[in-house]
Amino acid sequence: MAPSANGQTVGRRLPVESAFTRVEDARHRLPRLFGRRDLVVLGLGVMIGSGIFSLSGKQAANVAGPAVILSFVIAAVVCVLAAACYAELSSTIPVSGSAYTFSYVTFGEMWAWLVGWALVLELVTAAAIVARVWSAYFLATLSGFGASVPEGLARFFGPDANVNLVAPLLLLLLTAMIVTGTKLSARVLTVVVLAKVAVILLVVVVGATHINRENYTPFIPMSRAAPATASPTLLGWILDSSFGTFGVMGIFTAASAIVFAFIGFDLIATASEDARNPRKTVPQGMLLGVGAVTILYIAMAVVLVGLRPYAQLGGAAPVSEAMEAVGVGWAADVVNLGALLALMTVIMVVLIAQSRVLFNMGRDGLLPKSLGRVSRVYSSPARAATAAGLAAVALTLYPGVLDLEELLVIGALFCFAFCAVGVLTLRRSEPDLERGFRVPMVPLIPLLSLASTLWLMLNLKTSTWLKFGVWMLLGLAIYGLYGRWHSRLANEESWDFEVGDTDPGTGGLQAVRQDTDSELRAVRTPPKPTRGKHMRS
């Protein structure tokens, strides 16, 4: 194996200068299209999805009762802590790839591969699941507006259908839109996000006038034993105790699943290379997006639980069913239409993020190099976007894909944990790097983020952990057989550079480009001289 520039094989780290030169001096770089507003829209586009229209009702009915409101608060706190860590890292290393790139610079290649592999799991699972859920709302929307679907065809529309035709077609359509250019995708996304936010506000206002306060009691239902066939949580397995559902532990169990609803702020970091002035706009877009969606989610949860007894909220479309139950049928049709828009934007943003992760891993040689190319025709990572879309199509054909929901949660939480540790590590190893945003109260905030993330991971099912372990072992095998040997850092001298791809590797052999219009540059601030007591006034 060819040695890397830093003399290591496994564990070699990508120098921070190289992370920038590979973007600024490379032929295959992404055009800068996103401003702060676009990044907020990107976050809202992916975070406002099935969580606000179905997940809250199902968790209330089956796990937490009315206390699902507290579950949303807990999940929001965890995600705000994680978002602060992501914001600092993305303002320090504003390059596409998100947690994958952060880990490559901070921890080394093998750990970066594992984080990137977890991101792939999170994103492809999210796209496949949401496409299936979209097909169910599509059928409900047609029915609500009086357009009946023949029974023989309707059986191919449902989320649990053995053969679902709608979800793959939707994924192919959105993939084509992303392949042909991010600018078009951003315009469509902005219009759709504004429409679905308007729908949510309408539901909250109308629903608030039909709240029955008796539905909030008991706020925390008595705990119940878990079914004999249910998979225990990892914490329950470790303690040799089944916590069951409802009660106080039900709140935390529901919060572990509800994190799924907030997943998306981390995807803003994957668009750093597409953003203008990313050191400022990416952290701002991330934190503003999390704050806005937290308010919307908690407001919707309060209204939904108040509309109907929690035991009746476990249907396929809890929000629209609750609106119909209180006699506001017209609002139910609006909800179904809003859910269609919401879920479509979720898939769109997830596919954009997935393409950026694959693009970066291909550019680093850990995946086939062809994925790390930008199309001359569309100015987008067309091959990476195509690969992301086809992978989601393949997974959505699996009839039991909805049972894999916790897999994308554990993939996201795995990345959250690495980012929390990454803030502390990079503060120590690169204290003088320019940071557009700094996490306050270090090390307290990163440590709280790490602890809360690990706690939610412990509350996931053992079956989820088993599947995640198998996925990560598969990833290690691929890295050992392919990525380790084809890594760009491992083959500095023999790497096949194209015209314009002038980065010779680690950045130590070539200075960062010094033109004044460059937005990405590793800037180090000299440490302030220490002053003795005799120099103080």
Q: Following DSSP, what letter does each residue of 195-227 receive, concatenated?
A: HHHHHHHHHHHHHHTT--GGGG-SSSPPPBPPP
Q: What is the pLDDT of residues 80-136, one digit of tens each?
A: 999 999 999 988 888 777 889 899 999 999 999 999 999 999 999 999 988 988 887
Among 1.10.10.60, 1.20.1740.10, 3.40.50.10190, 1.10.287.3510, name the CATH number for the domain at 31-144+170-492.
Answer: 1.20.1740.10
In which residue ranges of the chain is pLDDT below 70? Answer: 1-11, 21-33, 50-51, 149, 181-186, 226-230, 240-244, 274, 378-379, 492-537
Q: What is the pLDDT of residues 448-481, one digit of tens each?
A: 999 999 998 988 889 999 999 999 999 999 999 9
The 8-class DSSP code of residue 312 comes to G
Query: Can you give the residue ranges of every domain in the chain?
Result: 31-144+170-492
- Residues with Cβ within 8 Å of 30's Cβ and at least 6 positions away in sequence, in order, are 96, 182, 273, 274, 356, 359, 374, 379, 380, 381
The 8-class DSSP code of residue 525 comes to P
> Helix, strand, coil shares of the chain as percentages rounded to 5?
65, 0, 30
Q: Name the residue among 140, 80, 45, 59 with its Cα closest to residue 304.
A: 59
For the chain, what's the residue count?
A: 537
Backbone angles phi, psi at 268, to 5 degrees: -60, -35
Distance of CA 484 to the CA centre of its chain: 26
- Residues with Cβ within 8 Å of 263's Cβ and at least 6 positions away in sequence, in order, are 46, 47, 122, 126, 408, 409, 412
Q: Name the residue among 54, 71, 456 with its Cα closest to residue 246.
A: 71
Region of residue 95 (phi > 0: left; psi between -120 and 50: alpha; otherwise: beta): beta
What is the rounded distance in angstroms from the CA atom of residue 10 to the CA atom of residue 222?
51
